[in-house]
């Protein structure tokens, strides 16, 4: 759910024959921030649907508990979605196994610790631990990250199907660098890189170290990363910790 407006025909009408379920997900996908409340006109604009259609779908979603209506008329995501999402095995099950190790990393480093799974050609963040005084990061729990350009995305991409890797390489700004980073994940079990900070506030660059979480067959279940200001020694000290934590989570999931 990115909150990015959907491309629609100039008439503003939904595509002919578009199923009601797809339109409902377009409405749900309009929300971009945790706790965000949207008035009907913003909800319709982001979903790329007429206000009348959006109003009808939003009312049905509210009746089902997927949305809630505030006193001022704005819509917010409902608790029913949280209850359903908590049952997702690729998110909640992995999170339960990973959380003790994430908490230990967070306690020792005082930095952002992220957990994500791959969904198509993107990563979905399923957990994030952050300290109050740590540098702000862009991505929220439930948000989507690119597989290229982020350490946690590359850790997932390195063990993705060949088709996904080739498509990512074809679109990459620096395919040679991406190949080297994916090779490091497969041979060393960890990816370390420095990237520009996408936020205007805070340091200009951020350091990220990420490790994949694999099952017994070697298939990727998710990835774990540490994100911190690009300070001397941050990546070197984190490589062993992230690799060890990734292996430990893999064993915990196996149990």
20-28 vs 51-64: helix crossing angle, rounded to 10: 80
Span 89-254: which CATH code? 3.30.450.40
Q: Tens digit of pLDDT per residue, the chain (255 long)? A: 444 444 444 444 545 556 888 889 889 888 877 678 899 999 999 999 999 999 999 999 999 888 999 989 999 988 888 777 666 666 567 888 899 999 999 888 888 899 999 998 999 898 988 876 666 666 778 888 889 988 999 999 999 999 999 999 999 989 999 999 999 999 999 999 887 766 666 666 778 899 999 988 888 999 999 988 766 555 667 888 899 999 999 888 865
Helix or strand run (H / E) with residue 237: helix 234-254
Sign of the Cα pseudo-torsion (200, 203, 204, 210, in order): negative
Residue spans of the domains in the chain: they are 20-85, 89-254
Burial label, 196 (beta-carbon count in 10 A; 0-12, 13-18, 19+): exposed
* 175 vs 223: CA distance, rounded Å: 21
Phi and psi dihedrals of 184, rounded to 5?
-65, -40
Alpha helices in 86-229 (DSSP H): 94-109, 151-157, 162-171, 175-188
What 3-state class would DSSP assign to 234?
Answer: helix
Interstrand relation of 191-196 and 67-69 (parallel, antiparallel or unpaired): unpaired
Q: Could you say which of 3.40.50.2000, 3.40.50.620, 1.10.10.10, 1.20.1440.60 is the CATH number of the domain covering 20-85?
A: 1.10.10.10
């Amino acid at each position: 759910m990115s909150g990015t407006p959907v491309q629609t025909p100039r008439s503003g009408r939904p595509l002919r024959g578009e199923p009601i379920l797809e339109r409902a997900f377009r409405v749900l996908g309009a929300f971009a921030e945790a706790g965000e409340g949207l008035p009907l006109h913003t909800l319709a604009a982001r979903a790329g649907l007429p206000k009348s259609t959006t109003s009808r779908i939003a009312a049905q979603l509210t009746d089902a508990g997927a949305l809630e209506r505030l006193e001022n008329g704005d819509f917010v995501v409902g608790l029913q979605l949280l209850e359903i999402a908590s049952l997702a095995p690729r998110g909640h099950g992995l999170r339960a196994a990973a959380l003790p190790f994430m908490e230990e990393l967070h306690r020792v480093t005082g930095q952002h610790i992220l957990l994500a799974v791959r969904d198509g050609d993107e990563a979905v963040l399923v957990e994030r631990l952050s300290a109050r005084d740590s540098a702000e990061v862009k991505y929220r729990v439930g948000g989507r990250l690119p597989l290229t350009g982020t350490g946690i995305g590359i850790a997932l991409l390195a063990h993705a199907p060949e088709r996904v890797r080739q498509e990512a390489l074809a679109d990459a700004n620096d395919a040679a660098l991406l190949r080297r980073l994916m090779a490091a994940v497969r041979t060393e079990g960890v990816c370390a890189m420095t990237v520009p900070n996408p936020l205007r506030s805070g340091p200009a660059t951020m350091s990220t170290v990420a490790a994949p979480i694999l099952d017994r067959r070697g298939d990727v279940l998710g990835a774990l990363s540490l994100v911190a200001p690009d300070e001397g020694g941050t990546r070197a000290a984190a490589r062993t910790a992230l690799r060890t934590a990734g292996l430990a989570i893999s064993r915990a999931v196996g149990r």
